[in-house]
Structure 1
């Protein structure tokens, strides 16, 4: 199996283990909204179901809200989760997007569920998935941080590091330290739920926290 297939299965299992009205890290979303987002993302992409870098701060869109509203109990929820658990139809762009688009999405949303009600132990990631997420993080971070004044350096426990944003406007550089999965969560706007240390001058740290902390 590819990593996105593995993560789809993990996410589907996590959805099934979560009550349909359980909170998530996504502002305004219960588990049923997250399931609706995932289904619409793959089967009705024009509905604008949201993307990995924005969903934590957008709240449910109209299409997601409508589909989530049809979930009135566990049976409705189970049916929606089963729809997501099956691969998307061949006509969907997400059917051929593979790891490049889906792996981080599924990983992040699994953690949205696992940590919605409070802290959860970080997952121990296989080396291959860790390396894939690291590569995707290094591409995502410069876009996510582009308007930030302080610079940002990401540092893994093995001391592998990457400067993903250059300081400007007289600001210094902030260092984020953590496991790869935790850094992915932090940069995607879930810093408040990630096991990451933030080091730097107080004003610069505050600016980074303001950008990367969801409601």
Structure 2
């Protein structure tokens, strides 16, 4: 496993364990148990995980999710800690590097920021750069359904176009916060939005951002 993916995996597992199975998350309708089951299914049941983005597979995903949600919570956490089995695409180093660093960072924040007393993590610049690199590669995919033009901007001025259109809204923040915004966690992301007032409102309320 990559250094960042492994670190975020273990942070997520520890946090899920500490919060228990019934804590809230930023994922609408999901408790920590549901989130843990999602992480395990995504890595261990590729035959069902496709239902996350492929509608004809959604019913199968729902059945498999129910099966894993019924497992002991401690077992789910242990499966997260041990990582994907060898047959999983996520066992490939490059896939792990590209996909799980972001996946586990976002889901860790889904748990942390559901608390009323949460505070931002202090992330080192190397990790922020790694998140920005991934954001640059996926921005247009994740922002494809934005209701306005959308530009992501780092505090140092670097930008990435997530969606072409007018009017344009520029979202400024650290890469970690921009990721959360683009992955549909607009209300929890610490960012600044600049542009047409009505467009900003539409973007902030958009429920279709992310996959």
Shorter-chain TM-score category? Answer: 0.7 to 0.9
Structure 1 residue 93 corresponds to structure 2 residue 111: no
User: RMSD of aligned C-alpha atoms?
Assistant: 2.2
- Alignment equivalent of 2:198, drawn from 189, 199, 203: 203
Separation (CA, whole Å) in 1 of partners of 2:41 and 2:91: 13
TM-score w.r.t. the length of structure 1 is 0.84
What SS is found at the alignment partner of 2:19?
coil
Conserved 8 A contact 1:40-1:49: no
**Structure-2 change in CA distance of 1:213 and 1:196 (3 Å):** farther
How far did 1:141 drift? Answer: 1.8
State the partner residue of 1:73.
none
How far did 1:178 drift? Answer: 1.3
State the partner residue of 1:158.
156
Correspondence 1:175-214 to 2 at 5 A: 175-211=170-206
- Alignment equivalent of 2:121, drawn from 101, 120, 123: 123
- Once the two structures are superposed, residues 87-115 of structure 1 have per-residue CA deviations (whole angstroms, 9 ceiling, x without a partner) of 21111111112211111001000001111
Separation (CA, whole Å) in 2 of partners of 1:7 and 1:47: 24
- Alignment equivalent of 1:79, drawn from 75, 79, 82: 75
Separation (CA, whole Å) in 1 of partners of 2:117 and 2:187: 10
Separation (CA, whole Å) in 2 of partners of 1:133 and 1:78: 30
State the partner residue of 1:142.
140
**What stretches of structure 1 of length at least 5 have no aligned partner?**
53-59, 71-75
Conserved 8 A contact 1:41-1:50: no
Conserved 8 A contact 2:141-2:162: no
**Structure-2 change in CA distance of 1:164 and 1:49 (3 Å):** closer
Q: Larger relative contact order (C-alpha < 8 A, sep ≥ 6)?
A: 1
**Structure-2 change in CA distance of 1:36 and 1:98 (3 Å):** same
Length, aligned pairs only? 199
TM-score w.r.t. the length of structure 2 is 0.85
How far did 1:179 drift? Answer: 1.5
Conserved 8 A contact 1:145-1:165: yes
**What stretches of structure 2 of length at least 5 have no aligned partner?**
54-60
Conserved 8 A contact 1:153-1:161: yes
